[in-house]
Structure formats: C-alpha cells, structure tokens
Amino acid sequence: MIYFLVVNYYSTNLITKLISSLPSYDSYDYKVVIVNNSPDDNSIYNLKNESVVIFNAESNLGFGGGCNFGLKWIYTQDSQGIVWIINPDAYFVENTIEKVPLFFETHPNISLLGTIVHTTTGEVWFAGGRFILSTGAIVTQDLLTNTDTDYVVCDWITGCSLIVNLRNFDDCPQFDPAYFLYYEDFDFCRRYANQGHLIAVTKQFGVIHQPSSITNRYVFRKIKNSTYGYLLSLDRYTNQWIVKIRLLRLISHALVLMFVKPQVAFGKFAGLLMYWRR
C-alpha cells in the first residue's frame, strides 16, 4: 500500500487541495496520514474519512519530528509499505498511484526516491540534489531534463516529495530530531546513504509545488532554522576548515543584511547562536 504522509501546520486549505488531487479511494488502495503540528487547528479534522488518518501532536514537532511520528505508525501497520512524504503545499496533476509500486518492483534496490518537482508556472523546482564535499556546497542540480533513464542516483532529495521504500529498512527510518526545520532531508539522505542505501530521483512521476508558501509567513523563523540546519550539516559531513570558512561568509553576509534586510540578518544570527549553543 502507498501511504501519503503530510505534516500540517495551519495548512488545512492546502492539504484539502492536495487530497482532492488524488484519485478516488474507492478505485485505489492508499491512505493519507496527516500529523497535525498545530494542535489548535481543528479545521484539519474536517478532512478525516476512511482513507485519511489524522494524528494530533501535543506540540509543534517540526517537519522531521512530524514525519517521524507518522513513519512510526505506518511502519507498525505495514513494514513493507511505500511512504510518500509530501509537503502540504504540493499537489498532483495526474494519477501516479499505479506507477509507484511498479517502479519499485522494477528497481527494488532504491531505498529513498525523490521525484521531479515543478512550480505552478511549470518551471523545474527540484530534479536532484548534489553535495560537494570539497567545498561544503549543498545544491540542487537538474539531473533529469536531459535523460530518459528511469532514475538518476543523487546525493540528497527534497522533503517536499520524498518516497521511502520501507522494505529496504530493518528498522523504521527516522529523521534526526536535532533538525527542527530545513536540511533534515539532506541529513536523512546522507545518513542512510552512508549506511549503504541507494538514493535516487526520477521524473516518471512528480508533483507541483508552490515554494515556501507556508514558511514565508514566518521569515525570521525560516532563516533561523535554515541557518542552524545548514551549519549542523556542514559540521557533520565536512571538516572544520570548511565550517570555519562558511561561518565567516555567513557572518559577513548577515552584517551587510543588517542595513537592508534586518529581519533576515537577525534570523541568521539567531541560527548561528543555536549552532554554537547545541
């Protein structure tokens, strides 16, 4: 069975659109698992039905924490299942449910699969992630447009559309709770890649995404968490020389932004402080 795992943070309207883009439950075997990170958002319960399961977190667990909550429940129900982690502000434009199990039957060695992600204007938003160890650069790269292969191996996948093949894991895969928001997907992929799991991206199926339609409501928190997640990832997967260079660049950039975008600058300094205090 396919389980669509969604983490809600005051996004009922967006999730309603996502669910409405799925085919009828009567025709296909799937479940939508919603982890509610906004416990006072009671409107989310209007979506509950036989194909939609909703769990209420006692507090905001962050993206990775919310995913962990859902993954644990799904794993206890079906340790051989397929989990499609998808952002609330993403949706489908075609029926892909039949394609996904067939894909993993053909390529059972893939543990984590990303999909191509387009914006609402048709531009490619994600088509592969690369990690350049020598410089510490964590970048997106279009690995799919100029190829007709079923998939391309990559270094990391965006959590906007990330499919987990549970049958390849001896234990329930989990995001690191040290990440609240941002770069938890990068760490998730690099950690399991280092354990021998295959990470790949495909354009056999994909989603439409409105970038940062949720997090742009909270600019300071967005910058704080992304800065902290970035530095934590560099600390784990590069060396101290690269970390120091990146720190100097980050501080310099934040000082310049103090005069033009103070909210962004304060967010960067707050993330830096979180990193130093960890």
Question: Per residue in 58-69, pLDDT tens?
Answer: 889 999 999 999
- Cβ-contact 207, 115 below 8 angstroms: yes
C-alpha closest to that of 186 among 227, 130, 125, 135: 130
Question: Cβ–Cβ contacts within 10 Å for residue 163, how many?
Answer: 25
The whole-number pLDDT of residue 130 equals: 98
How far apart (Å, rounded) are the C-alpha atoms in residues 43 and 36?
A: 11
Instruction: Identify the weakest region by mean pLDDT among 5-14, 136-145, 215-224.
Output: 215-224
The overall average pLDDT reported for the chain is 94
pLDDT tens, 9-46? Answer: 999 999 999 999 998 776 778 999 999 999 888 899 99
pLDDT exceeds 70 at position 177: yes
Half-sphere exposure of 62 (CA within 13 A, CB side): 19
Residue 212 in this model has a pLDDT that exceeds 60: no
Going by the DSSP 8-state scheme, the letter that residue 182 receives in this structure is S
Q: What is the DSSP letter of 150?
A: S
pTM: 0.94
Q: pLDDT value at position 219? A: 86
Q: How far is CA 79 from CA 96, 119, 174, 237, in A?
A: 22, 33, 13, 29
